[in-house]
Structure 1
């Protein structure tokens, strides 16, 4: 089965399923702490079901859904209609796997330790010169991704990491997310060093890698369950363009962003036939 969407309102979820039933699209409901999931039983009807879900989300209170419940509603449904969404903390933890949470904790801890005066930048920053690329401090290819220079910088990156990394880890496991983290940090960091030198940091190169990966998987393999609203993808591309035109009013690792996006797009294309776990 394919998960179509998760709704916090169980009655709305039931109304959608009842309406899809009238169209001959068989679906099932399951309930968890996150909400009520709508699952498509017939994968051959995926395209039609997705169109109907989009229409439902744009007008969930349309009379057609209430009428469908009267026509095909089941008296034996085992959904607790009194149960809503979980609290925000539970919701946050439910979406994130162990690696997603570990990276969030690491970034927060490093930022806090730097704020109280510990000189972590010199330990975690990229290699100072090309001559040191081959030395034993291999962590420097990746660790600049964990360094942030402001609260806004930190929060922006961690929210995207949680949203995108959580999707990947939940569907493909921690191993795939770890690969994207390492490659999506190392290659963008190398590219940024070659353009601007070693004094940079932030998880945004990895974020763009995850962005490209989720977008490609969602486009080429809708059954994978990866969702990335077009408006969000458009916003991030617009943000990328603003950085290259130097319109953000601050120093931005533009090459890291671009290389991260290319890494994610390529890995998503290579994984286009892989099925989620």
Structure 2
């Protein structure tokens, strides 16, 4: 759990050493400043009380004495040096519940595909193949959870987590949900016009997310989604290569083009009142 951040290492170290004498282990992580992390959340109230006292009088002799004690005596107290925050904390900082939930669901579906085969996954989650399935509403969206190779799964989740996670953390779960839902529907429709119902994966949604983040930052100077033009360029070049047939005929080109257009359109609408 993140406790606070100090500008100066000396202050951070002094508080860590003092809390060690109280039986509380804190870690320091350099993240612009010096961030303190607590692994045992049951000690949070103790840490918060002592932190308030420390902020009021950081030069009190008891903190200097604690530093001498932890560094120069064999008191049995261990100071844990920076090793980075736990994985759980890293995930919380990078992404929200929707990003993580879709990632977990995609992994579980891939495992089911590995065990039961593609046909079974298509039968349960695939795009509607006839009028009888049109009323099975989940099919219009659940196709994004199906990845038919480990490489596709890893690439799709990489971009979903990196861009989708940023959008969710900065603009909220509702915004990510809206982009993902609309792009899943329209990208699936576009792909089905060319490949029937035999397709799946997050790649179309990923293209929408990248396009959305790029244009959002271009049109709003205060946008927290600045991913740079390089990433958008990579996705555009990839689509162009797909269009030339470099990767063969069986690609997600229709879905990817639709994703880019959906992302651009949604970003344009969301920033239409912004002034650069």
TM category, shorter: 0.5 to 0.7
After TM superposition, the structure 1 = structure 2 runs for residues 30-109 of structure 1, keeping only pairs within 5 Å, are 35-36=31-32, 86=85, 90-109=89-108
Deviations 1:131-178 (A, max 9, x none): 457x32011111111100101100000000001111111111111111
Are residues 1:190 and 2:189 paired?
yes
**2:141·2:181 contact (CA, 8 Å) conserved in 1?**
yes
Does the CA-based 8 Å contact 1:34-1:86 persist in structure 2? Answer: no
CA contact (8 A) 1:34 1:94 kept: no
Match of 1:5 in 2: none
Cα deviation 1:237-267 (Å, max 9, x = unaligned):
1111111112124721111111111111011
Contact 1:34 1:91 in 2 (8 A): no
Aligned residues: 204
Aligned counterparts of 2:127 and 2:29: Cα–Cα separation in 1: 41
| Equivalent pair of 1:111/1:147 in contact (CA under 8 Å) | yes
Q: Secondary structure in 2 aligned to 1:222? A: coil
In 2, the alpha carbon distance for the partners of 1:183 and 1:34 equals: 39
Alpha-carbon distance between aligned partners in 1 of 2:137 and 2:267, rounded to the nearest angstrom = 26
Give the Cα–Cα distance (whole angstroms) in 1 for the partners of residues 82 and 264 of structure 2: 39
The TM-score normalised by the length of structure 1 is 0.66
Residue 138 of structure 2 corresponds to which residue in structure 1? 139
Deviations 1:170-213 (A, max 9, x none): 11111111111110100110111112211111101100110111
Q: Which residue of 2 aligns with 1:128?
A: 129
Counterpart mapping for 1:1-277 below 5 A: 35-36=31-32, 86=85, 90-117=89-116, 119-129=120-130, 131-132=131-132, 135-249=134-248, 251-272=250-271
Q: For structure 2, list consecutive stretches of 5 or more residues without a partner in the other structure.
A: 1-6, 9-27, 34-58, 60-80
Contact 2:204-2:255 at 8 Å conserved across structures: yes
TM-score (normalised: structure 2): 0.67
Alignment partners' CA distance in 1, 2:219 and 2:252: 29
Give secondary structure in 2 for the equivalent of 1:247.
coil
RMSD between aligned residues:
2.9
Q: What is the SS of the residue equivalent to 2:247?
A: coil
How many angstroms apart in 2 are the aligned matches of 1:274 and 1:176? Answer: 17
> Is the 2:113–2:148 contact (alpha carbons within 8 Å) kept by the matching residues of 1?
no
Cα distance, 1:84 vs structure 2: 7.5
**Structure 1 residues 132, 274: CA separation in 2 closer, same or farther (over 3 Å shift)?**
farther
Q: State the structure with more CA Rg.
A: 2
Distance in 1 separating the partners of 2:139 and 2:249: 24
Change beyond 3 A, Cα 1:274–1:168: farther
Unaligned runs of 5+ in 1: 1-9, 12-31, 38-75, 77-81
SS at match of 2:222: helix
